[in-house]
Amino acid sequence: MNRLNLLQFYREFLPVGPQTPTISLGEGFTPLIRSRHLGRQLGLENLYFKFEGTNPTGSFKDRGMVVAVAKALEEGARGVVCASTGNTSASAAAYAACAGLPAVVVVPAGGIAPGKLLQAVAYGAQVFAINGTFDRALEAAVELSARANLRLVNSLNPHRLAGQKTAAFEIVDELGDSPDYLFLPVGNAGNISAYWLGFKEYRAAGRTTKLPRLAGFQAAGAAPIVLGRPVPKPETVASAIRIGHPANWDSAVRARDESGGVIEAVTDDEILAARRLLAKLEGLFVEPASAAGVAGLVKFRSLVQDPRAVVVCVLTGTGLKDPAPGFDVESRVYHVEDLGQILETLGLEVSPRSSG
Ligand code: F0G
């Protein structure tokens, strides 16, 4: 099967030319899954999930990273550098490996999920854990990019947002028009800005007739945009969005206001409840941060008045990198001595022993 290549498929909307190497790990073209259960519970007839966990490193970051690293390669960069709460570093490390470039990543010490740290190491990045928050790690990465001549691949690099806007294109291509609402988590605020860019570019190109309202959600303990001021010590179980001073703050606020949308806060309990709902009701296992948009939809259900409105929730990453939060596995596993105990626990009617 000939798998589509994201850089080529959307090239007329991307900063790529004949000189740009078309690297790929199979990013993008993620499934838009129609809700079978949660939508009904919420009284929404057209609820969809854009599941970004199927990207090669397990998150939406791969869409932007393939563009940023291809451009770094094209422009002869010596290597790439980023700060990260985990997913960006995993993605940068993977695409740098693919491009044959060295990667340097700076993460907040103790602040990222073990699966993400492991990915960065596995893909061969040089990993530095710095005391303090993501915001401090980002300052270090920006400084390193200038002083060590490494290409910064955080979302301050416009190629990242250019790549991430392809998710908006895919949604429109699949639905035939923009949704009425887009719900998503907000951390460093690059993704909400990128989606808005994508929907607006598609409308300018005549590929969609309308624009969605954006509904972004921060974790309550890390909600600078909601509070209107930086949060020096952000706290939340959703480590991916534990950010107190988002780099794309202004563009996120613009996207919110231009779209007639909202940016609100959801608590850790609400995030973990949404994470459990997605897994149990829909078969979608996402990381805590990725459940924030759905937590927002549950909490602020009244934002969507028309039951027939088309609502898309972006699920930004797989649950496998940070599996534990929200699940008490031990209490849900029965330890048994034999088959008899299993049958007894299930309470099922038993037929005679099968002969085969
Ligand atoms: N969801 C996940 C799984 C993320 O990893 C991130 C951000 C977000 C949502 C928020 O997106 O920052 O564009 O508003 N992760 C970054 C990182 C910060 O370093 O991996 P955003």
- pLDDT tens-digit profile of 6-65? 999 999 999 999 999 999 999 999 999 999 999 999 999 999 999 999 999 999 999 999
Residue 354 Cα to ligand 1 midpoint, Å, equals 52
Residue 35 Cα to ligand 1 midpoint, Å, equals 23
Q: What is the per-residue pLDDT for 38?
A: 98
Sheet containing strand 151-152, strands side by side: 126-130, 103-108, 80-83, 151-152
The conformational region for residue 132 under phi > 0 = left, psi -120 to 50 = alpha, else beta, is left
Average confidence (pLDDT) over 211-235? 98
Minimum-distance ligand 1 atom for the alpha carbon of 289: 1
Does residue 149 or residue 178 have the better pLDDT? 178
Q: How far apart are the first and last CA of the chain?
A: 39
Say whether pLDDT at 322 is over 90.
yes
Which residue's C-alpha comes closest to atom 10 of ligand 1? 187
Q: What is the per-residue pLDDT for 63?
A: 98
Residue 353 Cα to ligand 1 midpoint, Å, equals 53
Residue 240 Cα to ligand 1 midpoint, Å, equals 5
Residue 281 Cα to ligand 1 midpoint, Å, equals 24
Residue 187 Cα to ligand 1 midpoint, Å, equals 5
Cα(273)–Cα(298) distance, integer angstroms: 10
Give residue ranges with CB within 6 A of ligand 1: 59, 61, 84-88, 155, 185-191, 240-241, 287, 289-290, 316-317
Q: What is the per-residue pLDDT for 348?
A: 74
pLDDT tens per residue, range 60-107: 999 999 999 999 999 999 999 999 999 999 999 999 999 999 999 999
pLDDT tens per residue, range 259-318: 999 999 999 999 999 999 999 999 999 999 999 999 999 999 999 999 999 999 999 999
Minimum-distance ligand 1 atom for the alpha carbon of 59: 3
Say whether pLDDT at 352 is over 80.
no
Minimum-distance ligand 1 atom for the alpha carbon of 88: 20
Cα(29)–Cα(52) distance, integer angstroms: 9
Q: Residue 85 — φ and ψ, nearest 5°?
A: -90, 10
Q: What is the per-residue pLDDT for 4?
A: 84
Average model confidence (pLDDT) across the chain: 96
- The three-state secondary structure class of 53 is helix
Instruction: Look up the pTM and report it.
Output: 0.96
Q: What is the Cα Rg of the chain in Å?
A: 21
Cα(173)–Cα(312) distance, integer angstroms: 14
Minimum-distance ligand 1 atom for the alpha carbon of 185: 9
Q: What is the per-residue pLDDT for 3?
A: 72
Q: What is the per-residue pLDDT for 339?
A: 93
Q: What is the per-residue pLDDT for 334?
A: 94
Q: What is the per-residue pLDDT for 96?
A: 98
Number of CB atoms found within 10 A of residue 262's CB: 17
Please enumerate in sequence order all residues whose Cβ is within 8 A of that of 342, keeping only pairs 6 or more positions apart, or say none. Answer: 334, 336
Residue 146 Cα to ligand 1 midpoint, Å, equals 23
Q: What is the per-residue pLDDT for 7?
A: 96
Say whether pLDDT at 129 is over 90.
yes
Number of CB atoms found within 10 A of residue 3's CB: 9
Minimum-distance ligand 1 atom for the alpha carbon of 190: 13
225, two tokens:
């945009």
243, two tokens:
């950010």
Mutate to test the pocket of ligand 1, among 30, 59, 195, 237 (most ligand atoms within 8 A of CB): 59
Residue 1's pLDDT band, with cuts at 50, 70 and 90, is low
Q: What is the per-residue pLDDT for 115?
A: 97
Cα(187)–Cα(195) distance, integer angstroms: 14
pLDDT tens per residue, range 187-220: 999 999 999 999 999 999 999 999 999 999 999 9
Q: Which residues of 76-87 are buried (b: 16+ CB within 10 A; e: fewer)?
A: ebebbbbbbbbb
Mutate to test the pocket of ligand 1, among 188, 236, 249, 314 (most ligand atoms within 8 A of CB): 188
Cα(144)–Cα(93) distance, integer angstroms: 16
Q: What is the per-residue pLDDT for 222?
A: 98
Q: Where are the alpha helices (DSSP H) in 80-189?
A: 87-99, 114-122, 134-147, 158-164, 166-175
252, two tokens:
């996120």
The secondary element (H helix, E strand) that includes residue 329 is helix 329-332
Residue 241 Cα to ligand 1 midpoint, Å, equals 6
Q: What is the per-residue pLDDT for 2?
A: 61
Which residue's C-alpha comes closest to atom 6 of ligand 1? 240
Residue 89 Cα to ligand 1 midpoint, Å, equals 11
The secondary element (H helix, E strand) that includes residue 190 is helix 190-204
